[in-house]
Structure 1
Amino acid sequence: MNCRWPHPGPAPHGLYLITPDEADTARLLARTAPLLVAGAAWLQYRNKRAGDALRHEQASALQELCLQASVPLIVNDEVRLAKAVGAAGVHLGEDDGDIAAARAMLGTDAIIGSSCYDQLALAEAAVAAGADYVAFGAFFPTRSKSGTRHADPRLLGEAASLGVPRVAIGGITPDNARSLAEAGADLVAVISGVYDAADPVAAVHAYRRSFL
């Protein structure tokens, strides 16, 4: 794939780590810091159970952590929160707002991603609107999100012509991540596969090896 990546540094590759619904900010930071050092390519802040004040507190703290580790922080769903904390970008689902509006608010340097589920047409529309990456899934059963749509790994290859990084999400483990990398995923997005692992740092390394 001739990847269109208009941001500093190489296009992303490897583990796209997503935070769990953690109410304790200090614990969230303590759990996350070693994972960034271990080699997560990106970090997405996602907490569906937190109120506005806690989300702002956690996103601000994670942004500082990510700056120290030189890891981009992507905020799930909330464009205004991403702007408020100076995050690298935002990830939008199909009901989370307009890509062009997010670009206007966050600027040309922001990384904007779009959930495309099991549909190439959604990815085509997202890229046409200015998305920097597209995410497909769920590829495997997942506990992190109810009512997920199932995506076929062949979709990753079909999306190669879009010229942007492709993210695979949904039930991904170190054992099945390589199959998605071989199908065309540039990143695998993971929550419980890392945070709930017996050794989260070892899990980060295992996911990274899937791309070697």
Structure 2
Amino acid sequence: MRFPKSGLYAITKTEDKTTDQVISDVSEAIKGGIKVLQYRDKQPADAIYLAGALKELCKTHNIPLIINDDIKLAKHIGADGVHIGKDDGQISYAREILGLQAIIGVSCYDSVEQAVLAQNLAADYVAFGRFFSSSSKPQAAIAHISSLQQAKTIINIPIVAIGGILPDNGAELLDAGADLLAVIGGVFNTTPYQSTLAYQALFK
């Protein structure tokens, strides 16, 4: 499974939801046109079951499933890749465990230098953010539009923007150099199908 060059990157919202509801929400978001899904769950009750179910759902629709933080879980369920932050292990370790075909994404926050390093270590995409106020990551450091603009001139792998992104502010990030928009609450706080459709106009 290849990482998409553009589009909506949905990240699961699991708080106060049953596993069946999470699966249903993701199914609706897939119908709405997401291009990639990340399974993110900070307090999982049954991560192996839920991640495995999401893997099968994504596989059916030819959408990559990325696991947040957990390289061992990604390996266990045969996910398409993993997303790691600065404290989540080295890119080389993830590559060793998951193999050459795995998708490896790296959080670079507001650091273009970190994005260049990730690219040099054969990451498949880099992520910048947060750009706007975010209920999912309220304490995350602010990233700047200028970082996207600079990264676009020297980064040759897809650039993902994250953090408080809505249909009415996402265009600014795409214009600055983001290729994909990563969204949690904007998709999964209300009706995922309709919410996902609202983002699609940004990519046309």
TM range (shorter): over 0.9
For 1:79, the equivalent position in structure 2 comes to 71
> Separation in 1 of the partners of 2:63 and 2:25?
15
> Separation in 2 of the partners of 1:103 and 1:200?
32
Deviation at 1:209, TM superposition (A): 1.1
For 1:16, the equivalent position in structure 2 comes to 9
For 1:132, the equivalent position in structure 2 comes to 124
Q: Secondary structure at the match of 2:203?
A: coil
Runs of 4+ in 1 over 2 A off after TM superposition: none
For 2:93, the equivalent position in structure 1 comes to 101
> Separation in 1 of the partners of 2:69 and 2:203?
27
TM-score, normalization: structure 2?
A: 0.94
Question: 2:192 pairs with 189, 200, 210, which one?
Answer: 200
Conserved 8 A contact 1:16-1:190: yes
| Cα-to-partner distance string for 1:79-125 (whole Å, 9 max, x where unaligned) | 11011111110000100001001001111111100000011111111
> Separation in 2 of the partners of 1:76 and 1:102?
12
For 1:111, the equivalent position in structure 2 comes to 103
2:61 counterpart of 1:69: yes
Instruction: Give the aligned CA root-mean-square deviation in angstroms.
Output: 1.4
Q: How does 1:46-61 map to 2 (within 5 A)?
A: 46-51=40-45, 54-61=46-53
Q: Secondary structure at the match of 1:210?
A: helix
Which letter maps to 1:102? A
Q: Secondary structure at the match of 1:145?
A: coil
For 2:171, the equivalent position in structure 1 comes to 178
Deviation at 1:193, TM superposition (A): 0.4
> Separation in 2 of the partners of 1:35 and 1:151?
26
Conserved 8 A contact 1:12-1:41: no
Between the two proteins, what is the percent identity of the paired residues?
45
Q: Secondary structure at the match of 2:181?
A: strand
TM-score, normalization: structure 1?
A: 0.91
Tell me whether 34-43 or 166-175 shows the greater mean CA deviation: 34-43
Deviation at 1:21, TM superposition (A): 2.2
Instruction: Name the count of aligned residue pairs.
Output: 202
Q: Secondary structure at the match of 2:56?
A: helix
Question: 2:36 pairs with 9, 32, 42, which one?
Answer: 42
